[in-house]
Amino acid sequence: MFNLRSIHVDIDSETAWVQTGATLGEVYYRIAEKSKTHGFPAGVCPTVGVGGHFSGGGYGNLMRKYGLSVDHIVDAQIVDVHGRVLDRNFMGEDLFWAITGGGGASFGVVLSYKINLVRVPETVTVFRVERTLFQNATDIVYHYLQVADKLEEDLFIRLILEVVETNQTKDNKKTMRAAFVAIRLYRNELGEICAFLDQFSHWNTRGCFAFSYSTSTNPPEKKIRLLEEADSEEGFGVDLEENDRVRDPLLTFNPYGGKMAEISSTSSPFPHRAGNLAKIQYAANWDASGAEAEKHYIDLMRKLHEYMTPFVSNSPRDAYFNYKDLDLGINNHNGKASYEEGKVHGVMYFKANFKRLVEIKTKVDPHNFFRNEQSIPTLPNNWGNKIVMFIINYWGLLAAYVIGALIIHKQLCPPFAGKLAKANKQRREKVDGLWYFLAITDVILAKGGPTEVRRGPTVTWVGSATAVAACGGGVVAFPVNGVAREEKRKKKEK
């Protein structure tokens, strides 16, 4: 995908076509070339690729104001399993929905996305405030979690908790530090923004300053979880002497609220919307090389992740698809077990939307050609699921079938049943109502040429004039004048 990185920005329409091999930094740069007052809601890391970021959701500093990247995607191009290049019109709304939050790699090769740009001020206000445990960080963090998702949507305050060296004790031991990093989407007089923050947190915010629109950092090893509600204040006080699990990893809280709380959880496969206070990122950085060091730091992150269990979402414990966590489970794509394996982590990533993603996957890639260790699985290949997929694929025909049946049942069924009963009575054959049944697939396959269908002693013809009726205790398909033609044929034979 590295060679597919063109970006075409149209400021007049406030849109851009972005190929999936481009990076977020390149997208921001090309937009800034054309306009200083336009941007796009996506991540802060400039080297992240567009393809994965957009297809899995995409969040960043503008999420409280504008939502996610997928909330502003209006078209896409994908190569499907048959090698066809499809845009939104030809791929259909289901597949378009799936690749804007459900991970494009499960459904095909996404080539590009068309995005709507958003308006941003030419100058914004940013600040960073740091407090340690000795500076009342526990109390401040607790109060931050009470208000972070309720502040005005123009204000985004990210919280980073990490262990640092300190000179605030006699033996210079480590301590916990809380860093509040924020952006406000318009320029304030510095005194105004600092006074605003001081009134609810007693931060004594020195160092507020105006800044240009974009800033970035590099991503470490990560896990992501959703924080549903703040627990007691005591829950955030950590004894560093007894809890080595928190000494090296760090936590980053990205607050929700604002636009994130207004968008439906089913508008895209990304389900984590209203009801969440923040998205928590677990990260670990290390300079040492080798498998032993890697295991050590990842294990520390796993311990911290476990330690946070009482404070986060549960049943399931939600996760963010763009930060793949193989600890949640791996799909080996082993026949019928594939769906059950994929469901374990799929429900954590997509919650109730997982079911729809599986149905779309089964429809567009039934043989699971596009797959990886955590891709969307297909439905098991059994008759029950085949019927489900038949209904999904042919719901329009089924709807027409039912509507036609109801209409004809009311208008044509009684006369037809009477004629049929009379004809059978003449042959001294007793008929208790109309019980003949014709399979739906036979109706669908009858494309104009006559198809002979036999059931019991009666022969009917199904063709372009097919009528469908629900009569008595069964469903029957027959031509409007079928009985009359049958009677004429018998008279000629005599």
Q: What pLDDT was estimated at residue 84?
A: 97
- Please give the Cα distance from 79 to 93 (Å, whole number): 15
Contact 365, 389 (CB under 8 A): no
CA atoms of 253 and 325, how far apart (whole Å): 18
- Whether 438 shows a pLDDT value over 80: the answer reads no
362 closest CA partner among 155, 107, 78: 107
Residue extents of the structural domains in the chain: 7-119, 124-311, 326-393, 396-493
Q: pLDDT band for position 395 (50/70/90)?
A: low
Cβ distance 43 to 24 under 8 Å? yes
Task: Tell me how far apart the alpha carbons of residues 158 and 166 are, in angstroms, rounded to a whole number.
Answer: 22
Percent residues over pLDDT 70 in the chain: 64
Q: Is the pLDDT of residue 235 over 90?
A: no
Mean pLDDT across the chain: 77
CATH number listed for the domain at residues 124-311: 3.40.462.20
pLDDT single digits (tens) 97-137:
999 999 999 999 999 999 999 999 999 988 898 999 888 89
pLDDT digits (tens, 9 = 90+) for 160-176: 999 888 776 556 678 88
pLDDT of residue 467: 36
The answer to whether domain 7-119 and domain 124-311 are alike in fold is: no
Cβ neighbourhood burial of 65 (10 Å; 0-12, 13-18, 19+): buried
Give residues with Cβ within 8 angstroms of 106, minimum separation 6: 98, 357, 361, 365, 370, 371, 372, 375, 376
Please report which confidence band the pLDDT of residue 188 belongs to, taking 50, 70 and 90 as the band edges: low
- Please write the tens of the pLDDT for every residue from 439-454: 333 333 333 333 333 3
Average pLDDT over residues 383-394: 59
Predicted local confidence at residue 430, as pLDDT? 38
Express as a percent the part of the chain with pLDDT over 90.
50
Query: Which pLDDT belongs to residue 12?
Result: 97
Q: How confident is the model at residue 489 (pLDDT cuts 50, 70, 90)?
A: low
Residues catalogued as catalytic: 323
Task: Give 196-223 pLDDT, tens digit per residue.
Answer: 556 555 555 444 443 333 333 333 455 5
Q: Give dist(CA 420, CA 434) in Å, integer.
A: 8
The pLDDT score that the predictor gives to residue 245 is 47
pLDDT above 70 (res 413): no
pLDDT value, residue 405 = 63
Please give the radius of gyration of the chain, using alpha carbons only, rounded to the nearest integer.
31
Q: 131-140, 314-323, 336-345, 439-448 — which is least confidently predicted?
A: 439-448
Please choose, from the candidates 230, 252, 410, the residue with its C-alpha nearest in 3D space to the C-alpha of residue 311.
Answer: 230
Residue-by-residue DSSP string for 118-150: EE--SSEEEEEEEEEGGGTHHHHHHHHHHHTTT
In 259-395, where do the E strands start and end? 278-284
Query: Residue 450, preceding bond cis, omega within 30 degrees?
Result: no
Which pTM value belongs to this model?
0.72
pLDDT digits (tens, 9 = 90+) for 347-368: 999 999 999 999 999 999 999 9
CATH architecture of the region 7-119: 2-Layer Sandwich (3.30)
**Range in 160-169, 189-198, 409-418 the model is least confident about:** 409-418
Measure the N-to-C terminal CA separation of the chain; round to a whole number of Å: 75
pLDDT band with cut points at 50, 70 and 90 for residue 370: very high
